Homo-oligomer: A and B are copies of this chain.
Amino acid sequence: ARPRVGYFYSGKKNADLFGETLRKLKVKDYKSVPIVITEKNSVYDAIVTMFMEDVGSLIVVRDQMLQGIVSRKDLLKVAIGGGDIHQIPVNLAMTRVPHVVTVEPDEALYEAAVKMVHHEVDSLPVVRPDAEGGGMEVVGRVSKTTIARAFVELGQYREV
């Protein structure tokens, strides 16, 4: 909490520098393309899309606006439930807004990791609040895979 005037060696321990460096990473620099599906699609469609795109969750949208999120776990639950997965719409299996945990592009990747660990979810839609409609526009996704990739990238820094 002291004022920073350029870069200088302040006597901080490695761990302090570490935390500071890590908390500077932004969601917008690490997010990936959102894999979306509409709420009218069936659970079967969702499972097929999930395998084709090889992701662990799909973001459910209407006109690019966030409606919900559906995970492998949600779909597995329905798949063993005995119903006809071709007939059941994905919106019966998904977690629905406002219960979806989201993150915005300017938030720290650290905050995204905190949210995933705290809420025990594997991915978050990256959203931008829509001033007019009051909804949330989906602009990306981050997942625990995103965090693992950032972790690897940071671990690759070596003395040069």
Contacts and interface: CB of A to CB of B under 8 A. Distances in A.
A13 to B, nearest CB: 8
Contacts of A19: 154-158
Contacts of A144: 122, 144-145, 147-148
A124 to B, nearest CB: 11
Chain A interface size band reads 35 or more
Contacts of A15: 21, 157
Nearest to A23: B155
A75 interface: yes
A30 to B, nearest CB: 12
Interface string A75-88: 11101100001000
27 contacts: A1-B159, A2-B159, A14-B21, A15-B157, A16-B159, A16-B160, A17-B17, A18-B22, A19-B154, A19-B156, A20-B159, A23-B155, A44-B80, A54-B120, A56-B56, A72-B73, A72-B76, A79-B80, A110-B151, A113-B155, A116-B148, A117-B149, A144-B144, A144-B148, A147-B151, A150-B151, A151-B151
Interface of A: 1-2, 9, 12, 14-23, 44, 47, 50-51, 54, 56, 72-73, 75-77, 79-80, 85, 108, 110, 113-114, 116-117, 120, 122, 144-145, 147-152, 154-160
